[in-house]
Every structure is written in C-alpha cells, then in structure tokens.
Structure 1
Amino acid sequence: MPLAKITLQNFRNHAASELADTAHFNLLVGENGAGKTNVLEAISLLSPGRGLRRAALVDLARKETPDAADGAFAIGASLIEQGQISARIGTYTQPAKPTRRLVRINGADASASALSEWHAVSWLTPAMDGLFTDSAGARRRFMDRMALAIEPGHAKAVGQLETALRERNRLLEERGDARWLDAIEAQAAQHGSLVAQTRARLVAMLGDELSALPPEPFARPILTYVPGGPIDPSDLLAELARARPRDRAAGRALSGPHRDELQVVMAQSDMTPGQPAASCSTGEQKAMLIAITLAHGVLAASGRPSVLLLDEVAAHLDPVRRTELFRRLRGGGAQIWMTGTEIAPFADITAEAAIWRVSDGALERL
C-alpha cells in the first residue's frame, strides 16, 4: 500500500478531504461531477509533471467560497512500505505565487522530479482513449510518463533537451555565435541521446511484457519505437550541425528525439502485425490501452512502490473483461485507485477494497 492518509486542501471542489486506511484496491463512487476524478488528479500530482489533466496550477485551487479565494491548494500523503511510514510527501502552491508549484518531502523543500525517486504513479483516463489517433506529441508524452515511472531521471533529461533546443532555435534565428551553437548542440545531443535510449528501452520492455500476457480477453498491441533522428550522441550532434540552414528556415529542429513516434498495431492471433491501432474499433483501442497499462504496471511495480489510477475503467468493459482486469490487478504490485458512478461493476473486489462515496467534494467511507 504505497499511499495512506491522503489529504486535499482547497483542491478543485474539495475544501478539506482525507482518505485514510487505504488498501490495495481503492474505489471512489459517486455521480458525475462529484469530485472522484479530482482525487485521482491530486494523487497524480504527487509525481513529476502536470498531472493526469495537464491543468494549469491556477485552475486547480478551489474557488467556490471566499475563504478559498487566495488561489492556493495543498496535497499530501504518507508513503507506506512494509507496513511502516517511509516518507511524507506533498505538493502545494502559495497565495503570493499561485503559478509556482512547490514540493516538500519529509518536511524539507524538494524538486518535483524528486517525487519520482520515492514512488511511481501512472494512470489511464477516458481522455486517453484517442491516444492512437492523437498527435505524435501526445504519444511522446505517453512514453515519457511511462518511462519516468521506471527511470526517475528521465524527466530531467527531457527538460534539459527541451531547454537546449529552445536556446538553439533562438541562436539560429538571431544568427548567434557559432561557438555558442556548438556548445548548445553538444548539450542537445547529450540529453537527446539519453531521452531516445530510455524511450527505446521502455518500448522494448513493454514489448516483452505484452508478449507474455494471454491474448484474451484484451487485444494485444505490438509497439514500435520510431526515432525522430539519430540516437547515438555523436551522430545526433553531427545531424544538428548539418541541419542548421534547414532548421533556421523552418524556425525549429526538424529531426531529433522531439520528433520520436510510438507506433502501435494490433497483433493477430499468431502475433504477426495486423491493423494499425488508429484504424481499429473504439473497443479494440480501449482494450489495447488497458493491455499497455497492465504491462507497464508490472514494470513500474518492480523494486519501487507504485500507484495505478484508473478513471472509469470498468464502466465500458463487459463482465468477462472486468473479471480478468481485476484478476490481473490483484496479482500486481501496484496500489490501485478506481472511480465509478456505482458499486455494481466492482462486485468482484468490494470485499477487499477501501470504498468512499464522493458527493460535491465530500468523502464518506463505506
């Protein structure tokens, strides 16, 4: 049970909510708009990044009442390992700086990236159902979030790559000193190679896990990492230098890890590639997303506490797939948080789950 005593203060529609005595399965039930997904979003913010909705910080603070008008919120949780509290982690904003996210770990200031050193958080939400038809950028973010749950240093490398590419674009536009360009491109090549190698390892590891899963009742996807440029740092550095005229004209770098792609096809019964995921039915796409999420959950739970957030995942599954989903989740090492509008679809796990009813931002333990 990685997380216990989770607290939300002035977050979304939650004035002051607490979830204690958590379990392996944790279930939030209530009507649409009650605040169930807000709890999952709060938990997702106990990891690096912008959370499962990618919302701006100023949109997260509760605004319904005058006492919450300062624009600040706070989220905290205890990390539990082997029945003992191993750390207390939290993230918050301050009224004077509502656009700056702050983090504390065991009472000391820390960076957001440091949260990934303590536990891994991943999620599947209805907003992700269109991942295979979305932009390549959405799939890169999907890869990066999964990679971060396995290799905590990945977020830093991605940030350093983005910073180096922005500076390179500025120097190209201003026709800056070639020596500065050389230095910036060396940084971009170093960090970009690390990013690309991590993504390639992630996809290979996911492929191994997916091939070991039974093909039914969830569709089995075949994943391919397609690099947007050279992966070797020396080759990437040479490509950046060669492409300066082209990239100056385009106003951006046209090759490199920031152009990577994740290709997904649905496997046929003999594990040969079949139909591209983007062309599959909505149900098949959902089943492949669940399969990827389950495979990633196995990897993320290896050697580190992990949390898996599943928003409205059971509502659109038939009884056979629901039963299989709960069976696989029960055997995994991750703590599970799920939402639903009613308890009935979760009948297989209610006896072992911690359950809260959510109503207008208030929680009632059932």
Structure 2
Amino acid sequence: MTLARLSLTDFRNHAAAEMAAGPGLVALHGDNGAGKTNILEAISLLAPGRGLRRAALPDMVRDGATGGFAVFSEVSAGDDLAPVALGTGIEPAHPGRRIVRINGAAAAATALGEWLAILWLTPAMDRLFVETAGNRRRFLDRLVLALDPRHAQHGNRYEAALRARGKLLADLANADAQWLTSLEAQLAEHGAAIDAARQATLAALSAELAGQPDAPFARPVLTLVDSEGAVRDAPW
C-alpha cells in the first residue's frame, strides 16, 4: 500500500492542508518552522502507537483551533483496486481519546497496521543504541509491526495482563489464586507470540543483509538476547 493523499485539519501548525503524492520517493522541503516534521508526525499517526513524537493528543491540536484535529488519507494498492480511506483524530468532547476510521467505519488503532507499514528513524533517536534496552525494544517492535499487524494486539494484551498481575501481587494475601493463574497463562501466551514475531523479523532482516553485495561499510549482525539464558549463563 502507498500513501496517495493526505489531508490535515487543525493539526499542529496546519489549519488545512491537502497533499497528493506521485509515484516514487517523496521529499518534503521548506523553511524552518514551515511544518515539515508536523506532516511526518501526522503520517505516523496512520499506524498503531503514539506517533513520531509520542506526544499527548491534545498537544497536536493547532493553537487557536476550537475543535479537535483530523488526519485523513487515502492509500492505494494499485490502479486496479479501490483506494482505502484511513482517518484518525480527536473530538473536543473527548480530547484524550483517539478516534480511528477505516473506510468511514470506526476501528481500533491496531487495525491501521493492516493497511500501512510505517517506520521512522529521526535525529532525536541517534542515541538509540547507547540508551536503555527498553528504547531498543520499542524500535524493534515498530519494525515487527510493519510485518505483523497482530504484534500490537499481543503487546497490548501482555501489558494489560502484566498490570493486572501487579495489582494482585500488591495484596498477595487476598489475591485470587485462580485469577492469578489465568493472568500468568495470558502472559505466557502473548509473551511467546511477541518473542516469536521479534525473532522472525530479525531472521528476515539478517537474511536480507546476508544477500546484499559486499560494500565498504561494515555489515551489521543482528541478534536478540534471550534474557532468561543470559541470567542462567551469567558468571554469578
């Protein structure tokens, strides 16, 4: 799928903007402060997650606007197929709740991953490989999501089960043992699916890199450390 049309309403510094993309690569250019990054952020909202800047939804509304904001797009799979309409935004009555529509019908944000695969690497992420493992996992999960839209669902359910288990363990004396067992089963199920998707993505990337011709740049080696094995085999 390719992004053929983008429309913004009261998003960041854009009161109203309409853009249509031709075939091939697209480059945005303009003066500082013109709103180029804001356009990229709007596009990033057409995928599951919090977007390029991970900003709060109300912060994306244009200063002075009286309503919410809207991002509308049409994605195309070719001349023989009808375009698909993807839209997201917020309403004034519910500024903290994201609305998603696919061909006019309400949908969950995770459903966006079935239509567009979006990945970004920005200058603000230049410390990705020297900061926390959590930041690297989030970047890896964005890669995985581009290949497997179900990855977000497993991640959301895993996090929900983890939070529920934490609340139970905070009052262990009164915890429901059956409910705790159920949560552990959910964590195992979704955790295994998350790990399998991550491993499959890294295997696909490694195979692609191995098939590239030799170049003057070093070829990266991609691995995902098994934390359980790392602890088991640690010298202590």
State the TM-score, normalizing by the size of structure 1.
0.60
Structure 1 partner of 2:56 = 56
The counterpart of 2:91, out of the listed 91, 94, 104, is 94
Is the Cα contact below 8 Å between 1:75 and 1:91 reproduced in 2? yes
Structure 2 partner of 1:221 = 220
The counterpart of 1:75, out of the listed 71, 77, 81, is 71
CA distance in 2, matches of 1:31, 1:89: 29
CA distance in 2, matches of 1:228, 1:50: 27
Give the stretch that moved more between structures: 11-20 or 116-125.
116-125
CA deviation profile, 1:71-111 (whole Å, cap 9, x unmatched): x1100111112124331111010000111001011111111
Q: CA deviation at 1:4?
A: 1.4
CA distance in 2, matches of 1:145, 1:158: 11
CA deviation profile, 1:31-70 (whole Å, cap 9, x unmatched): 222211111111111011111111111111111x3xx033
Per the alignment, in what secondary structure is the counterpart of residue 4 of structure 1? strand
In structure 2, relative to structure 1, the CA distance for the partners of 1:40 and 1:170 (3 Å cut) is same
Per the alignment, in what secondary structure is the counterpart of residue 25 of structure 1? coil
2:71 maps to a residue whose letter is I
1:74 maps to a residue whose letter is A
Q: CA deviation at 1:215?
A: 4.1
Structure 1 partner of 2:143 = 146
Question: Where do 5+ consecutive residues of structure 1 fail to align?
Answer: 231-254, 256-366
CA distance in 2, matches of 1:59, 1:218: 41
1:55 maps to a residue whose letter is A
Q: CA deviation at 1:146?
A: 0.6
CA distance in 2, matches of 1:2, 1:224: 30
CA distance in 2, matches of 1:191, 1:229: 17
CA distance in 2, matches of 1:218, 1:42: 33
State the TM-score, normalizing by the size of structure 2.
0.91
Number of aligned positions between the proteins: 227
CA distance in 1, matches of 2:8, 2:137: 30
Structure 2 partner of 1:183 = 182
1:6 maps to a residue whose letter is L
CA distance in 2, matches of 1:13, 1:218: 40
1:220 maps to a residue whose letter is R
Give the stretch that moved more between structures: 1-10 or 45-54.
1-10
Hey, which of these two has a bigger chunk of strand by percent? 1
Percent identity over the alignment? 51
CA distance in 1, matches of 2:216, 2:92: 49
Structure 1 partner of 2:22 = 22
CA distance in 2, matches of 1:178, 1:198: 30
Structure 2 partner of 1:47 = 47
CA distance in 1, matches of 2:15, 2:94: 20
Structure 1 partner of 2:118 = 121
CA distance in 2, matches of 1:151, 1:26: 25
Superposed, 1:261-272 pairs within 5 Å as none
Per the alignment, in what secondary structure is the counterpart of residue 224 of structure 1? coil
In structure 2, relative to structure 1, the CA distance for the partners of 1:34 and 1:215 (3 Å cut) is farther
Per the alignment, in what secondary structure is the counterpart of residue 32 of structure 1? coil
Q: CA deviation at 1:180?
A: 1.6
Is the Cα contact below 8 Å between 1:3 and 1:22 reproduced in 2? no
* Aligned-residue CA RMSD (Å): 1.6
Q: CA deviation at 1:119?
A: 2.1
CA distance in 1, matches of 2:228, 2:14: 45
Is the Cα contact below 8 Å between 2:8 and 2:72 reproduced in 1? yes
Is the Cα contact below 8 Å between 1:78 and 1:85 reproduced in 2? no
Per the alignment, in what secondary structure is the counterpart of residue 104 of structure 1? strand
Is the Cα contact below 8 Å between 1:4 and 1:77 reproduced in 2? yes
1:20 maps to a residue whose letter is A
Superposed, 1:247-326 pairs within 5 Å as none
Structure 2 partner of 1:210 = 209
CA distance in 2, matches of 1:76, 1:173: 44
CA deviation profile, 1:262-311 (whole Å, cap 9, x unmatched): xxxxxxxxxxxxxxxxxxxxxxxxxxxxxxxxxxxxxxxxxxxxxxxxxx
Structure 2 partner of 1:132 = 129
Q: CA deviation at 1:227?
A: 2.6
CA distance in 2, matches of 1:226, 1:33: 41
CA distance in 1, matches of 2:216, 2:103: 43
